[in-house]
Amino acid sequence: MPIFECARCNEMTYSASMGAVTACARCGSERQRAVDGDFDAARHSVRTLGAADHATFVYDDVATVAPFCARFLTDGANAGERLVAGVQDDLRQDVSGLLAPDVEAMIEWKDPRSIYGDFDADRVAAMYDALLGAEQRTTRILAGLDGESAEGLDPDELARYESMAHEIVTSRGATLVCVYDERSLPPEFIDVTARRHGLSVDESGVRRNERFEYQPA
């Protein structure tokens, strides 16, 4: 019997069939992931990223995160999705070196400082909402707060932004992976990212984030 996992709040429920999708009893979202196995197996199984998924990858070496980022963007290109990336220069360089030229040409590269600089949670969230609403096709985003933009930022403001971003991503049906370089960010920011993303990523794959705390925006 398959299990449905809410993309918004991570609530897990049994389903009689793969096609019987109902609104989440906890948050009302109809965005559901179908996961095989019982509850225990489903909690630990590897996920495939798709529409309405909001995930985080915390890293301390670009060599560990770049291969995943390249696959993530390539998968989006193969699916005909809009691709947007706003990552630090060292990560962009490593990711670009792993991409086919036609895939790289499809990516809308942005300087993360143009997104997160002079950080204001409402402004950044509104920018993403407008970006996702600009096209009907699914948008796939790879982005992350840079160390320069993080200077002077209150962790509570970052947490408020991530809650709004989560609501926007799950409502719009986008796919967003936030990459956080723990070498350039304070530990309290890494704690925020662990609590505000439904999925977590490492070199072994994408999994349910058991530290996620759903906060309605």
Do residues 34 and 63 share a domain?
no
Residues 10 and 71 in one domain: no
The whole-model pTM stands at: 0.94
Contact 27, 171 (CB under 8 A): no
108 and 154 in a single domain? The answer is: yes
The predicted pLDDT at position 69 comes to 98
- pLDDT recorded at residue 179: 98
> Which letter, b or e, does each residue of 62-97 get, where b requires 16 or more Cβ atoms within 10 Å of its Cβ?
beebbebbbebbbbbbeeebbbbbbbbeebbebbbe
**CATH number of the domain residue 165 falls in:** 3.40.50.300
Domain that holds residue 123: 53-208
Q: Are residues 16 and 68 in the same domain?
A: no
Residue type, 204: S
- 91 and 33 in a single domain? The answer is no
In a domain? residue 153: yes
User: Across the 217 residues of the chain, what is the mean pLDDT of every consecutive 10-residue run?
Assistant: 90 72 90 89 93 97 97 98 97 98 98 96 98 95 95 97 97 98 96 97 96 91
Residues 189 and 89 placed together within one structural domain of the fold: yes
Number of domains in the chain: 2
160 with 67, same domain: the answer is yes
- Dig out the tokens for 67 from the structure: 């291969």
Are both 134 and 166 inside the same structural domain? yes
82 and 21 within one domain:
no
Q: Is residue 214 part of a domain?
A: no
204 within domain boundaries? yes
Put the strands of the sheet holding 107-109 in their side by side order. Answer: 107-109, 82-86, 139-143, 175-181, 53-59, 199-202, 205-208
In a domain, residue 217? The reply is: no
Question: What does the H/E/C string look like for the chain?
Answer: CCEEEECCCCCEEECCCCCCCCCCCCCCCCCEEEECCCHHHHHHCCECCCCCEEEEEEECCHHHHHHHHHHHHHHHHHCCCEEEEECCHHHHHHHHCCCCHHHHHHEEECCHHHHHCCCCHHHHHHHHHHHHHCCCCCEEEEECCCHHHHCCCCHHHHHHHHHHHHHHHHHHCCEEEEEEECCCCCHHHHHHHHHCCCEEEECCEEEECCCCCCCCC
* Co-location of 60 and 38 in the same domain: no
